[in-house]
Amino acid sequence: MKGVLLAGGSGTRLAPLTLIVNKHLLPVYNKPMILYPLDTLKRAGATDIMLVSGPEHINQFKEFLGDGAKYGVSLTYGIQEKAGGIAEALGLCEAFAAGEDIHMILGDNIFSKTFTPTKSNYGCTVFLKEVDEESIRSLGSAVVEGDTVVFVEEKPKEPKSTLAVSGYYLFPGSAFELIKTLKPSARGELEITDLIDFYVKNDDCGFVMVDGYWSDAGTHDSLLNASTYIREESKAS
């Protein structure tokens, strides 16, 4: 099983912490952020992993993680030359995927140790978490009926749901051909929500509800909250 770990971005929300260090190498309590999504992929059984980052940061990851052996995984590295969106970054992994299904996680997403990703009965699987109405406006939102997703929207101004699309996704090998048909959004990026929407419109997007804690750690407040959660989780285990 193959995994994709996305660790790009400029980290502007965490400036000045990220002026010289990639945000995914900042500490979340007692270890660098990147090790948490790496561990989540391992729990899913995806130990053959491609890490994608920008050219200015890729060597930081290579120096820290190496070939991944000491963390129980096999790592390959890919470079996203500029910020072209999550879907574009996934598209860079086509040769690595070699037609297989892909588990993909965003590098700033922190899940509890009890979260083990499992596939739905559909081509694409998203992992959803109920959040408050204020939070959903800065996230991807999903509407579900039965066991499928029937609508997705990125950063909704008037949310139709408070079910947030977390930063963990399961895509079939067909996703790479679909990525090639995407058009850049208003901000000039290939949006992951647009890719998911192909499956939604074909009644082929299932979902799994996230048990336990989930947050991204991409702001000062969420980084602090994630560190506090991990500290308490460590005490309890």
pLDDT at 1: 85
pLDDT at site 162 = 97
Q: Is 203 left (phi over 0), alpha (psi -120 to 50) or beta?
A: left
Length of the chain in residues, anyone? 237
Q: Residue 32: its pLDDT value, please?
A: 98
CA atoms within 13 A on the CB side of 124: 27
Average pLDDT over residues 115-125: 96
- Six token digits for residue 129: 């978490």
pTM of the model: 0.96
Q: What is the pLDDT of residue 10?
A: 73
For residue 110, what are its two tokens?
């922190």
Higher pLDDT, 61 or 134: 61
Q: Where exactly are the structural domains of the chain? A: 2-236
Rg (CA), the chain: 17
Q: Each residue of 68-84: pLDDT tens digit?
A: 999 999 999 999 999 89
Rounded mean pLDDT of 133-149?
95
Domain 2-236 fold? Spore Coat Polysaccharide Biosynthesis Protein SpsA; Chain A (3.90.550)
